Chain A
Amino acid sequence: MNLFPVRAIYAAEMARTRRTLLQSIVSPVISTSLYFVVFGAAIGSRISEIEGVSYGAFIVPGLIMLMLLTQSVSNASFGIFFPKFSGSIYELLSAPISHVEIVIGYVGAAATKSIVLGLIILATAGFFVPLEIAHPLWMLTFLVLTAVTFSLLGFIIGIWADGFDKLQLVPLLVITPLTFLGGSFYSIDMLPPIWQTLTLFNPVLYLVSGFRWSFYGISDVSLMASVTMILVFLALCLAVIAWMFRTGYRLKP
């Protein structure tokens, strides 16, 4: 492995973030704060506690997950879509670099951004509600695994998309609904039984549940189920990316 290309891609992607700092960091922080005001303060005053955790604190892991998923996907998809769109992808494809190096550069940068963002949102949440993190190492593990996995998904979407509309489509039509329906803002115990069963098919539930467990020790599904789910998803994304590069799907005619 040659580190110079990886470093070049990573640095260029991070530079892009700095140029769009407002959009990349400030706006997710503002919207998270709004969630706290609306959900935590307004609704939380009516829902007192869930399994011994105040509602405001209960939604923190779900909120971080929501941001982590949407930002990972949008950062990584844009990162690889833009060179395709601008034409500068020719340079990436003609460079003496392996597919692995390309992925590490782009996905690494996108995941880094999401992780930093997740930590910033966590800190922001600390201003609104008292926080406790029961299993900090697990919390970080989930944070990193989720950021990497969904950045890989974003990378796939960026290669697949042939227009800005498609780039927006998946986050809008898939990620956000799944996150909202995946127990970010409630425990699935609060749903009628039929919905509980349906929710078990939502992969995001496993992420949110595991992540929330690392905070408060409470979960909708077992820790093992959460870890397995995310690893399966990670492997799936890697397989798709490997296939895309091998066949040149939407990269090489």
Chain B
Amino acid sequence: MDPSSLNDLHQASRLNDPDASRSVAEPVISISGLDKVYAGGFHALKAVDLSIRRGEIFALLGPNGAGKTTLISVVCGLVNPSGGEVRVDGFDNVRDYRQARALIGLVPQELTNEAFETVWNTVSFSRGLFGKSPDPAHIERVLKSLALWDKRNNRLITLSGGMKRRVLIAKALSHEPRILFLDEPTAGVDVELRRDMWDVVRQLRDSGVTIILTTHYIEEAEEMADRIGVINGGQIVLVEEKAALMRKLGSKQLTLHLHAPLAEVPVALADYDLQLAADGSELIYTYDGTRDGDEGSSITALLGDLDAAGIAFKDLHTRQSSLEDIFVDLVKERT
């Protein structure tokens, strides 16, 4: 893949971007009181309020069935809302649907199969559908950035699943959106392609495109996002800067495997947050892993005090609480 070419092309479109003068602080998407009750009576979104900042990568994280796809679908106009309001760059997504939708590119969760179209035609079609004049040079750059250029004359039916997903991304980028929705973009995508895909996403972000991705993989949100929103049972449980979220909930643990088991934590070490585990053969030290400067010194101090207390260990390892832990905690709290 060649993400740099994509960057160039979005840099170009940014220069004459009429929205550039709008306040950066003003959210690019603001959702308020959004409700969705499906025809069967299922309450899929419950009074969702959410603001997406201009130019960020926002990860919407939640288990299967949480309402991620429903939320995206309402914003993009695929599902009728039951209540509430969505504004895209100030435009109401129902009343001013033309202006609102023109800004948005959507990569759906499910692969679609227009089997007999060629890659080039299907991507060019998308551009036309979004009301843009033909621009073969742009389509070429998009296809090259997604490593699809060699396949441009292939019919979709001849492509692998990973390539098909890239075609869907190319279709979404064909009309130069300012906001890109990626619904579970890496589901069923191999590791290498996933990495390449993230490169492209970061390049897009660097060129000023706002990106909203959904995932139920915590690592993905952790790796990619600037901010993370957690959704569960149709409700937004929390929205945080990723770094702040990690700081707030992200303690670290140092586990020491002792030579000789201890019956209890020695009084000399009472100042440290220590616990015994595995019948006293493991000593677990919990500390704030995000105060970077202190981390090393507090561990050094602990190790010194252990030595002084005559406690020897044969091995040690650290572990950071992942979003997975945080998420499990949050969901547990709710239920």
Contact = CB atoms under 8 A, between A and B. Distances in A.
Given A12-B125, A252-B79, A94 B131 contact: no
B320 interface: no
Interface residues of B, number: 35
B79 A253 contact: yes
B129 A91 contact: yes
B112 A93 contact: no
B78 A94 contact: yes
Contacts of A88: 112-114
A90 interface: yes
A232 B78 CA distance: 32
Contact of A87 (B97, B112, B128, B131): B112
B80 interface: yes
Interface in B83-135: 97-102, 104, 106, 108, 110-117, 121, 125-133
Nearest to B102: A96
Majority-rule SS of B interface residues? loop
Contacts of B106: 90-91, 94
A97 interface: yes
A57 to B, nearest CB: 40
Contact of A253 (B38, B121, B126, B131): B38
A12 B104 CA distance: 22
B122 to A, nearest CB: 9
Contact of A96 (B80, B111, B130): B130
Contacts of A87: 108, 110-113
A253 B108 contact: no
A46 interface: no
Contacts, number: 83
B129 A97 contact: yes
A86 B115 CA distance: 9
B224 to A, nearest CB: 23
Interface residues of A, number: 28
A144 to B, nearest CB: 25
Interface in A1-44: 2, 4-5, 7-9, 11-12, 15-16, 19
A248 interface: yes
Interface in B26-42: 38-39
Given A252-B78, A253-B38, A86 B129 contact: no
A18 to B, nearest CB: 11
Contact of B131 (A11, A90, A96, A252): A96
Interface in A69-113: 82-83, 86-88, 90-98
Nearest to B172: A91
A135 B100 CA distance: 49
Contacts of A5: 128-131
A94 B77 contact: yes
B139 interface: no
A92 B39 contact: no
B202 interface: no
B185 to A, nearest CB: 15
B39 A95 contact: no
A87 B131 CA distance: 21
Nearest to A252: B80
A98 B104 CA distance: 16
Given A7-B128, A94-B104, 18 more contacts: A2-B131, A4-B131, A5-B130, A5-B131, A15-B121, A86-B113, A87-B108, A87-B111, A87-B113, A90-B78, A90-B108, A94-B76, A94-B77, A94-B78, A96-B99, A96-B101, A252-B79, A253-B80
22 contacts: A4-B133, A8-B125, A8-B129, A11-B125, A16-B116, A19-B116, A82-B114, A86-B112, A86-B114, A86-B115, A87-B110, A88-B114, A90-B108, A90-B112, A93-B77, A94-B101, A95-B131, A96-B100, A96-B102, A97-B98, A98-B98, A252-B77
Interface of A: 2, 4-5, 7-9, 11-12, 15-16, 19, 82-83, 86-88, 90-98, 248, 252-253
